[in-house]
Amino acid sequence: MILPIICNDVCELDITPATPEVCKNKPKTITASGATTYSWAPADGLDCTTCAVVTFDYDATTTYTVTGDGGDCTAEVTVVVKETPTSNFTIGACSGGAVLLTRTGTPSVGVTYKWFRNGVKLTGSASTGSTYSATISGNYKVKTTITATNCSKVSGEKTVTISCKAGDNSNFTAEAYPNPFSQSVTINMASGSTELANVRLVDLSGRTLREFTGVDTSAPFEINENLAPGVYFVRVSQGSTEKMIKIIKE
């Protein structure tokens, strides 16, 4: 009697792309072929562990083992997560009809910038630096791109209001002393106007910690707040003129 010989074909997996690269937190589709069923491990960052086509969305480089047809074949693929910048910006004081916007984040070298107002990319060389002098009120944001990896990040949008005009109250000055300080800091103001001023204490993120209204600019004004050591800003405004002072709590 002749016995039949049964041959089981061994699967051969193919992964596309073979060497995937992705910017941090940017989804990437990876496809396995050559088998009927699939199992991906580990599960970190994958939307499906039993699909032929999976979506990777993770913040760290990860190596996956793909098993086909219950163990008949395996393959490995490493998804490389490239460096991606962080992106934010600060809003300076209004002076001379303009507000200076300054990008913050990492890294600070090897990057390019694009500034936007109301969702439209601004043009000209002045709109491609780490700072931008805004002369028109609107909603601004900045896109930061790392040249080496081509990975980018767009900051959140912030409203910028141009509340001063060129030449407004050029005699208005504001200084802080002592600076750095340990307990309290005094703001000394001088102005050609008798209009009362507003004084705002803000942190590095631009968040207002304390606001004082109706401040007489002819007398020293003391700020005595329970602050943690660090860098803060005092924004003093009189009418449409505003001065910003950097202060350091020791």
Provide the domain count of the chain: 3
Q: Is residue 22 part of a domain?
A: yes
Whether residues 204 and 241 fall in one domain: yes
Q: Is residue 165 part of a domain?
A: no
Residue pair 131/100 in contact by the 8 Å Cβ criterion:
yes
Whether residues 66 and 104 fall in one domain: no
Structural domain of 186: 173-249
Q: Is residue 168 part of a domain?
A: no
Whether residues 102 and 55 fall in one domain: no
Residue pair 127/135 in contact by the 8 Å Cβ criterion:
no
Encoded tokens for 214: 């109706």
Residue 17 region by backbone torsions, left for phi larger than 0, else alpha for psi between -120 and 50, else beta:
beta
Q: Is residue 166 part of a domain?
A: no
- State how far the Cα of 27 lies from the Cα of 24, in Å rounded to an integer: 8
Whether residues 245 and 181 fall in one domain: yes
Q: Is residue 5 part of a domain?
A: no
Residue pair 155/102 in contact by the 8 Å Cβ criterion:
no
For residue 4, the model assigns a pLDDT of: 47
Residue type, 183: Q
For residue 1, the model assigns a pLDDT of: 45
- State how far the Cα of 229 lies from the Cα of 243, in Å rounded to an integer: 23
Burial label, 228 (beta-carbon count in 10 A; 0-12, 13-18, 19+): exposed
**Secondary structure of residue 116 in the 3-state scheme:** strand
The CATH number of the domain holding residue 24 is: 2.60.40.10
Whether residues 35 and 77 fall in one domain: yes
pLDDT per residue, tens digit, the chain (250 aa), is 444 444 445 789 999 999 999 998 889 999 999 999 999 999 999 999 999 999 999 989 999 999 999 888 999 999 999 999 999 999 987 776 788 899 999 998 999 999 999 999 998 888 898 889 898 999 999 999 999 999 999 999 999 988 776 555 557 788 889 989 888 899 888 877 777 888 888 887 777 888 888 888 888 889 888 889 988 888 888 777 778 888 889 8
Burial of 166-186, coded b for 16+ CB within 10 Å and e otherwise, reads eebbeebebebeeeebeeebe
For residue 5, the model assigns a pLDDT of: 40
* Of 60, 147, 70, 136, the residue nearest 107 (C-alpha): 147
Whether residues 37 and 94 fall in one domain: no
